[in-house]
Each structure stands twice: as C-alpha cells, then as structure tokens.
Amino acid sequence: MALCPCGSERDYSDCCQPLIEGGRKAETAEALMRARYSAYVKSAVDFIIASTHSTQRANYTAEGIEKWSRNSEWRGLTIVRTEAGGPDDEDGVVEFIARYIEKGQTHNHHEIAQFRREDGDWSFYDGEAPRPQTVKRETPKVGRNAPCPCGSGRKYKKCCSA
C-alpha cells in the first residue's frame, strides 16, 4: 500500500491514480486539484495538460511541466480552502499550498486556483497568488522610550522588548 501524494491519507490506487489514468472523473474541483498535485509528483504530464481547460493549454508546454515535475522533490499539499466546486457546481476555487524542493531550496507554491467544468468534467482554468493581508494592530504601538505597558515603570526598550 502506497499513500497518495495528495495528502488524503488514502491509498494512491483508491485516490488519485484512477483519475490520472482515466478510470474515474473528478467529482469536485478539490479532487481534481489533488490529482493534479499527484500528477506532478508522478510526472504524469499528459494528465496535467488534459486536465487544463482547453482555452488555457497554449500557456503550458509538456517540456516545461515535465522539467518542473522531475526537477522538484515534492514535499506535500495543503488545501487551505475551497469555494463551490462541488458535484453540482460549474465553477470552483481551491486555495492550496504545494511544498517542494528545487535546486536545494524549499518553496511553498501558494495559489488560488480557479476550476471550471468543460464538457461536464472539471478542468483547471487559472491561478493567482493570494494578495498579502494588511495587519491591523489591536492596540497602539509602544515606542522604545515609552513606559513599559507591563507597569514596571521602566522604559519599554529596557524591559519587555529586551
């Protein structure tokens, strides 16, 4: 028994392999996303291209996909969130993080992927990096020379920030 690379904790032969080899169709956008990740791990270039929306395939080459697939050590997939993309939907969004090592450097590929149905089957349409979130402070910023908020009577720089 070999666990599926997609992180489902299921056997590969019961999870993504049937989708990649054409024995079963993805029921949800997330299932297709997981199968596409597994296809990168397994260098299943034909599946990656076939599961890309026909209007977007010109943006990808088999050589580029295979090079990235084979030159990377795939370390795991995390599904951050999904929107729609269910069995009765026509569109869906899957935000994910794919971890891999390439040329000795660890990378986290964080993407918000759009999926659409084409001829009844799910396909990857497009993806974008998430926008950085603005952090808002709940309390005012304490200056280095301000009294320490812990009440010690000392300057912040000499107390809790040290």
* Reported confidence tier of residue 136, pLDDT bands at 50, 70, 90: confident
- Helical pair 29-42 and 62-70, crossing angle rounded to 10 deg: 70
CA dihedral 64→69→73→75, nearest 10 degrees, is: 120
Whether residue 1 is predicted with pLDDT greater than 80 in this model: the reply is no
pLDDT at 138 over 90: no
Average pLDDT, the chain: 94
Kindly provide the residue ranges of all beta strands, DSSP E only, lying in 43-89, ordered along the sequence: 72-84
Which of 70-84, 92-106, 138-152 has the weakest average pLDDT?
A: 138-152
Predicted structure pTM score: 0.82
Tokens found for residue 10: 């299921």
85: pLDDT strictly greater than 90: yes
pLDDT band with cut points at 50, 70 and 90 for residue 161: confident
Task: Walk me through the domains of the chain, giving residue ranges and CATH numbers.
Answer: 12-131 (3.10.450.50), 134-162 (no CATH)
pLDDT grade for 115, boundaries at 50, 70 and 90:
very high
Q: What confidence category does residue 130 fall into, taking pLDDT thresholds of 50, 70 and 90?
A: very high
CA-based nearest residue to 47, from 21, 24, 73, 68: 21
Q: How far apart are CA 28 and CA 30, in angstroms?
A: 5
Dihedral sign from CA coordinates of 143, 147, 150, 154: positive
Beta carbons of 12 and 64 less than 8 angstroms apart: no
CB atoms within 10 A of CB 112: 17
pLDDT band at 133 (very low <50, low <70, confident <90, very high): confident
Please name the helix (run of DSSP H) or strand (run of DSSP E) that holds residue 91, with its range, or none.
strand 91-102
